[in-house]
């Protein structure tokens, strides 16, 4: 890009930045920050520290080990709460 093109872009940026009084921009930034803070607090409350059932904590490592090769896990009776011939179920609340 030619030097005159860069100067034109710089001039346009300066003019665009000066279109609104600084106090108004500061007020908008403060309200945007408050909104962002509310969003972050809400996400922290939703995905913050979790409480898991004791049963899940006991089965969690077995489920992780059997994630890629589930066949040994499929016949493990201590993991499943309900089972059928071709299906298994683990029910959790929380």
Q: Is 93 exposed, middle or buried (0-12, 13-18, 19+ CB in 10 A)?
A: exposed
Question: d(Cα 69, Cα 22) in Å, to the nearest integer?
Answer: 61
Q: Is residue 75 part of a domain?
A: yes
Domain span at 81: 54-89
**pTM beyond 0.85, yes or no:** no
Q: Which pLDDT value is given to residue 3?
A: 61
Please report whether residue 62 resides in a domain: yes
Tens digits of pLDDT across the chain (94 residues): 556 667 777 766 666 666 656 555 556 666 777 878 888 888 888 787 777 777 787 788 888 888 888 778 888 888 888 888 888 888 777 6
Residue 83 in any domain: the answer is: yes
Residue 5 belongs to a domain: no
Residue 84 in domain: yes
Is residue 25 a part of any domain in this protein? no
Number of domains the chain is built from: 1
* List of residues 6+ apart from 92 with CB closer than 8 A: 52, 53, 55, 56
pLDDT at 64 (0 to 100): 85
* 74 lies in some domain: yes
Asked, for residue 32, whether it belongs to a domain, the answer is no
């Amino acid at each position: 890009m030619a030097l005159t093109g860069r100067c034109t872009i710089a001039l346009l940026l300066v003019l665009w930045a000066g279109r609104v009084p600084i106090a108004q921009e500061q007020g908008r930034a403060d309200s945007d920050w408050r909104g962002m803070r509310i969003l972050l607090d809400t996400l922290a409350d939703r995905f913050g520290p979790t409480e898991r059932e004791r049963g899940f904590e006991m089965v969690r490592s077995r489920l992780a080990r059997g994630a890629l090769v589930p066949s040994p896990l499929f016949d493990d009776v201590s993991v499943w709460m309900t089972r059928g011939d071709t299906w298994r179920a683990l029910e959790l609340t929380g």
